[in-house]
Amino acid sequence: MIISGGISKERLISLDTGNQVAEELSKNGYKVKIVEPNYKLINVIKFFKPEVIFNALHGQFGEDGYIQTILETTGIPYTHSGVIPSAIAMDKDLSKKIFLQNGINTPKYITYSFNLQNTILLKIIEKKLKFPVVIKPINEGSSVNVFICTKKNVLKKINSLKNYNKIILEEFIPGREIQAAIIGTKKLGAIELKPKRKFYDYEAKYNSKAKTKHIIPVDLKKKDYNRLMNLAFKAHQLIGCKGVTRSDFKFYKKKFYLLEINTQPGMTSLSLVPEIAAYKGISFINLIELILKDAKSKK
């Protein structure tokens, strides 16, 4: 059974992931049922009694521990991380604190709850972060509502995110965008991205017309590559993740900065984990089977 869709801002990406995983499984002899995570979900699961559930949801309610809490009540194995790791990874403030406490570089940041005068906020940003600054929701994925701001437009962009109640303001780190994938206890590999856009935002991730350049293998010295993969694996283990994770890094002045860890990376034709796996000789169906095997091993 595949759960996809949902009500997050990443619904369309989730549907794409679910459909592509279903198509691949079906043509390789698996019986597959795609369902929406609605109020009938538990009844549907009880009726079909799947051997394993592939969680293809992205964003809020799909990878933040919410759906995982519901799935735990069924007793049926499900893919990717469990309740607590999913909740931690989705909370950018909490995950960053864990990174910093364990010696993993992450950009300087502050959280903001729309409780300060504009002049005071600007002074805090200039003192603690400097411009340009990255602003983003504390609990979204796929670079939804992420902006790189100058002093001129930062207040306007911050105000556009008021419906989130709490956001992250983060030091902008220039440099190379490199992403590393882990599956279970295996360091799968890495890929570098060179977006035509200002950064690797939602459009760059999911619109083929954005023409983001994917570079694999990544041009790094062996010791730097090993350091990158060790950091990704460390983050994966620290948070207690299962299945596949993709960690997003910036590489600047010989330092890796971990921006965030994604517990349910996309599995679409433009997604990075399948591309990394393919480079390593792992076909799409084999990758899906590895994820399903990992899910079953949790129970």
Q: Is 163 a catalytic residue?
A: no
Q: Is 206 a catalytic residue?
A: yes
Q: Is 11 a catalytic residue?
A: no
Yes or no: say if 39 and 90 are a contact pair by the CB < 8 Å rule: no
Please state at what angle helix 222-239 crosses helix 83-90, rounded to 10 degrees: 120
At position 173, the amino acid (one-letter code) is I
Q: How many helices (H) and strands (E) does the chain have?
A: 11, 12
At position 119, the amino acid (one-letter code) is T
Which of 171, 201, 248, 294 is catalytic? The answer is 248
Q: Which structure tokens are listed for 214?
A: 């994917």
Q: Is 10 a catalytic residue?
A: yes
**How far is it, in rounded angstroms, from Cα 183 to Cα 172?**
29
Q: Is 246 a catalytic residue?
A: yes
Which of 86, 142, 145, 271 is catalytic? The answer is 142
Q: Is 262 a catalytic residue?
A: yes
Yes or no: say if 249 and 227 are a contact pair by the CB < 8 Å rule: no
Yes or no: say if 244 and 265 are a contact pair by the CB < 8 Å rule: yes
Which of 62, 260, 271, 294 is catalytic? The answer is 260
Strand residues in the chain grouped as ranges (E): 2-3, 34-35, 54-55, 109-112, 133-137, 147-149, 167-171, 176-183, 186-194, 213-215, 244-252, 255-262
Which of 6, 18, 189, 266 is catalytic? The answer is 266
- Four-residue CA torsion sign, 38, 16, 191, 287: positive
Which of 6, 10, 18, 78 is catalytic? The answer is 10
Yes or no: say if 56 and 11 are a contact pair by the CB < 8 Å rule: no
Which of 66, 78, 206, 257 is catalytic? The answer is 206
Which of 81, 86, 262, 271 is catalytic? The answer is 262
Q: Is residue 274 helix, strand or coil?
A: helix
Q: Is 36 a catalytic residue?
A: no
Which of 246, 247, 257, 271 is catalytic? The answer is 246
Give catalytic residue positions: 10, 142, 206, 246, 248, 260, 262, 266
